[in-house]
A and B are shown apart, each in its own frame.
Chain A
């Protein structure tokens, strides 16, 4: 059985995200029920759960995509009620999302999109990040057009590096990615979150969805959660949760209900 861990570190920082009694439906079908969740500034949370449990729905709802309808409940981000804000407003407030399967935007080069996201920041910054992510030759290609699984993930991170969100949602960073890319993706995610450098930026937070947990080898996650049948079940040390899932699957979590 996974135990709920106590808050570490002594001083509790202010809450960055607070989700209260959240009920969400997608195309008339109930997906999430009574979710209560909160997150501190600088925290990295990992979301586990079987296929169809509602993990993607959760982060897509937090980001504000209209397909995910909030039936009940509230989302408070940095003390602001964002429940009725659109995607764009939430992005401007500091949320950002790495898509699992982003759409192709024809006729728009990655470079152009990055320039728009960067909003007047220098082109050198784009080139620097692109070099790091091995994407320099992709800058003049249409956004996501013909990109491989790994390239898509890296291009998403590149956009987020320019966007500089304070709260990042990452949907399965390791899916469809080879080992070499996972290392890179882990490294860049740390950079995005202001970690792995000498000075830790305590403000940046993330919710990461993972199936395999490979990403945990590269990212120092603070908390793990399990989502089952649209409900948040357990909270705990992400590594403990992962080893439990690896050993017993989600069976024991079901009994934990």
Chain B
């Protein structure tokens, strides 16, 4: 049974009213520029992706050989070109396009447009009115996969608006790791990626979500994400943006609804060229003994502008603990960083919230120290830079960790 027409219509009606509504942050984008629609055929294996697409996928952390992956979902422009779940996990986890899920499950109504509102701004409205897939992943109670599931949202053509809606449900006691690579195989493409993500982590569940963005100079990105974590649930969000982008703005919210729920954001941003980057994280503490941490490392080079936001919002009357740690380095006189940590307590008289924000140069002392070991100044600077961005993220699969470190190294060498 599909989601009821009545509900879909309600969503669309709300969206229609917001079709010209600007977002709170970030430059306003005229979506009328991106009208092209492209339908693509399916492929049998990721190895059969065109070379440029394969390269783009790799740069976004996608393993085309699928060796250490439980399954893959790849979308190119407006089409799902590949979807595969290892036979081992059939009946344990579901993987399909969200359009398909809407057609299949009437109960999806309880998760679809529930924590991200369709009338938030013109971008949410666009996805509500013209959805072009996105992934639906649901792991059944108590299940755990040996390897992460990987998803790849790719753009291969110019003047496209990719309007994806992702829904992830981690049922009680289940554990899931998703690696998402969002990427561009046509590096000069002008276009926009709109991504709605609604994630639900139920009682005792764990969701490790790793996202790698690999965009380019002419590309706009507007993700809208919300996550609900129930009792004893864990949500970990790892995010890396190490390539240029025209502009990106996103401020994901995690609601720690259940007692002892916890969340952690690890964010690594390297601002290059004319990138306009406005990224943040918001943790809302509603349950008792909830815990949230947000770590961000940003480097602004060339003419990039970075807003690094972080909100900790306590609403519980019980104990909760939140910590923000946001550090930045400016590499160029033409770049800027705005570090904006914010702590808010709504009568939460037992909440313990703290933040640490800093913007400072690379230490000369460290550079000289490494030079005295035989490194050149550039080599020393590049090593310190990659160290600065290295968050030693827990639960990150080794291969992704290695990949991020490699990209950081390439980026920091190129930037010099």
Interface size counted on chain A using CB atoms at 8 A: 24
B370 contacts the other chain (CB 8 A) = yes
Contact B369 A117 (CB under 8 A): no
**Chain B residues near A86 (CB, 8 Å)?**
371, 377
In the complex, per-residue mask of B156-185: 1 if CB is within 8 Å of any chain A CB, else 0: 000000000000000000000000000000
- Of the listed stretches A24-32, A103-111, A197-205, name the one at the interface; the rest are far from the partner chain: A103-111
In the complex, whether B373 has a CB less than 8 A from a CB of chain A is yes
Q: Which of A96, A97, A105, A107 contacts B392 (CB 8 A)?
A: A107
**Are B383's CB and A116's CB within 8 A?**
yes
Q: Of B366, B368, B384, B392, which one neighbours A87 at CB under 8 angstroms?
A: B368
Residue B332 CB within 8 A of the other chain: no
Chain A 125-162 interface residues, beta-carbon cutoff 8 Å to B = 142, 159
When distances are taken between beta carbons in the complex, the residues of chain A under 8 Å from B366 are 103, 105
8 A Cβ contacts from B357-372 to A: 363, 365-366, 368-372
> What chain B residues lie within 8 Å of A107 (beta carbons)?
386-392
Within the complex, the shortest CB–CB distance from B295 to chain A, in Å, comes to 12
Provide the residues of chain B in CB contact with A142, threshold 8 Å. Answer: 387
Asked whether, in the complex, the Cβ of A103 is within 8 Å of the Cβ of B371, the reply is no
Rounded to whole Å, the gap between the CB of A104 and the closest CB of chain B is 8
Contact status of A159 and B383, CB under 8 A, knowing A87-B368, A103-B366, A107-B388: no
Q: Which residues of B contact A44 (CB under 8 A)?
A: none
Q: Is A91 interfacial (CB-CB < 8 Å)? A: yes
Contact B365 A88 (CB under 8 A): no
Which chain B residues lie closer than 8 Å to A119 at the CB level? 374
Q: Is the CB of B386 within 8 A of A92?
A: no
Contact A116 B375 (CB under 8 A): yes
Contact flag A65-B374 (CB < 8 Å), given A106-B388, A108-B384, A108-B387: no
Q: Is A52 an interface residue (CB 8 A)?
A: no
Nearest chain-B residue to A162 (Cβ)?
Answer: B373
Are A106 and B365 interface neighbours, CB within 8 A? no
> Is residue B130 within 8 Å, beta carbon to beta carbon, of the partner chain?
no
Decide if A113 is an interface residue (CB 8 Å cutoff): yes
Known: A86-B377, A108-B383. A103 touches B372 (CB 8 A): no
- CB closest residue in chain A, given B389: A107
Scoring B363, B375, B377, B389 by chain A CB atoms within 10 A of each residue's CB, the highest score goes to B375
Q: Does B376 contact A (CB under 8 A)?
A: yes
Interface 0/1 of A68-108, CB less than 8 Å to B: 00000000000000000011100110001101001101111
**How far is A107 from B377 in the complex, measured between Cα atoms in Å?**
18
Chain B proximity mask over A193-230: 1 for CB below 8 Å, otherwise 0: 00000000000000000000000000000000000000
A48 CA / B388 CA spacing, docked (Å) = 38
Distance in angstroms between the alpha carbons of A87 and B384 in the assembled complex: 17
* Shortest distance between the CB of B325 and any CB in chain A (Å): 12
Residues of B within 8 A of A113 (CB): 370, 373, 383
* B377-A88 in contact (CB<8A): yes
Q: List the B side residues contacting A66 at CB < 8 Å.
A: 368
Q: Which residues of B contact A106 (CB under 8 A)?
A: 387-388
Residues in B whose Cβ lies below 8 Å from that of A159: 373
Tell me, in angstroms, the Cα distance from A232 to B65 when the chains sit together.
67
Contact residues in A for B370 (Cβ distance below 8 Å): 105, 113
CA–CA, A88 and B376, complex, Å = 6
Report the separation of the CA atoms of residues A107 and B366 in the bound assembly, to the nearest whole angstrom.
12
The 4 closest A-B pairs by CB, nearest first: A107-B387, A107-B390, A108-B387, A88-B371
List 10 additional A-B contacts (Cβ < 8 Å) besides A88-B375, A105-B369, A113-B373. A88-B376, A91-B371, A96-B372, A107-B391, A107-B392, A113-B370, A113-B383, A116-B373, A159-B373, A163-B373
What are 5 A-B contacts with C-beta separation under 8 Å? A63-B372, A88-B371, A105-B366, A105-B370, A116-B383
A binding-site residues for B, Cβ under 8 Å? 63, 65-66, 86-88, 91-92, 96-97, 99, 102-103, 105-108, 113, 116-117, 119, 142, 159, 163
The interface of chain B, by Cβ under 8 A from chain A, is 363, 365-366, 368-377, 379-380, 383-384, 386-392
